[in-house]
Amino acid sequence: MPDMNSLIGFTLIALGMALTPGPNMVYLVSRSICQGPAAGLVSLGGVALGFVVYMLCAAFGLTALMLAVPYAYDALRFAGAIYLLWLAWQAVRPGGGSPFQVRNLPKDSPRKLFLMGFATSVLNPKIAVMYLSLLPQFIHPANGSVLVQALVLGSVQIVVSVAVNAMMSFSAGSISNFLTAKPGFATVQRWIMGTVLAGLAVRMATEARR
């Protein structure tokens, strides 16, 4: 099992990335605003299935990687740090868009909503990097089975992301109206998120290799 420090650290990163606008959030919020919270939740089911696919692939792949090439962690660590810095820049860059901007989308059937949510999740580069570059930083072979640790941490990411996105789906309309009335709040939120992500990136890049 992962130790408590790993669980807390990974949970915070999963939360930060879930709150950072990306393809999944944009799609779910757009669906919720245009077609209602129920449509957003059906889409979220597809997104969650995509998370499960990534978790299983990464868990079994990381097990093989750690047994064969332990020093590959350095490459994964720096790749993850670079990606976090890129997310930080996307959060604070001038002209950055908001996922809560109202978009006109046609109404789709539940089946199509689910499949589109799944496709958006599987093709989301942020989730790929989350599992391939960030997840390994919180796995310690000394704590037992690498596979079990990967599955536990992956499950944490799924629970955190589904919870955050479910809340976004239910409150998308209200948040959109609030941000339209108070655009300054969105700017502050973007800078806070960018600072947190940049700090995580620096910590990851300077962390001593295990």
Q: Render pLDDT for 192-203 as a digit per residue (tens, 0 to 9).
A: 667 766 776 776
Q: What confidence tier does 209 reach under pLDDT thresholds 50, 70, 90?
A: very low
Instruction: Indicate the DSSP class of residue 133.
Output: I
CA–CA gap between residue 174 and residue 63 (Å, rounded): 43
Predicted local distance difference test score (pLDDT) of residue 48: 92
pLDDT band with cut points at 50, 70 and 90 for residue 185: low
Statement: the pTM of the whole predicted model exceeds 0.75: no
Tell me whether residue 36 is in a domain. yes
Query: Averaged over 42-58, what is the pLDDT?
Result: 88
| Cβ 31 vs Cβ 40: under 8 Å | yes
91-117 per-position pLDDT tens digit: 677 665 555 555 566 677 889 889 988
* Residue 103 is assigned to a structural domain of this protein: no
Which residues fall within 8 angstroms of residue 29, CB to CB, at 6 or more apart? Answer: 40, 99, 100, 168, 169, 172, 176
Q: Is the pLDDT of residue 156 over 80?
A: yes
Q: What is the Cα–Cα distance from 11 to 24, expressed in whole angstroms?
A: 18
Give 51-96 pLDDT, tens digit per residue. 898 888 877 776 555 545 556 556 666 766 776 677 677 667 766 5
Q: How many folded domains does the chain comprise?
A: 1
- Residue range 161-190: mean pLDDT, rounded: 70
Under 8 Å between Cβ of 175 and 37: no
In a domain, 20, yes or no: yes
Q: Which residues of 18-41 are buried (b: 16+ CB within 10 A; e: fewer)?
A: bbbbbbbbbbbbbbbbbbebebbb
Domain holding 26, by residue range, is 4-96+108-206
What's the pLDDT score for residue 65?
Answer: 58
Residue 102 lies in a domain: no
What is the reported pLDDT for 210? 45
Given a cut of 60, is residue 176 above it in pLDDT? no
Cα 94 to Cα 29: distance, rounded to the nearest angstrom: 22
Domain-located, residue 151: yes
Query: Does residue 14 lie in a domain region?
Result: yes
In this predicted structure, the answer to whether residue 33 has a pLDDT above a threshold of 80 is: no
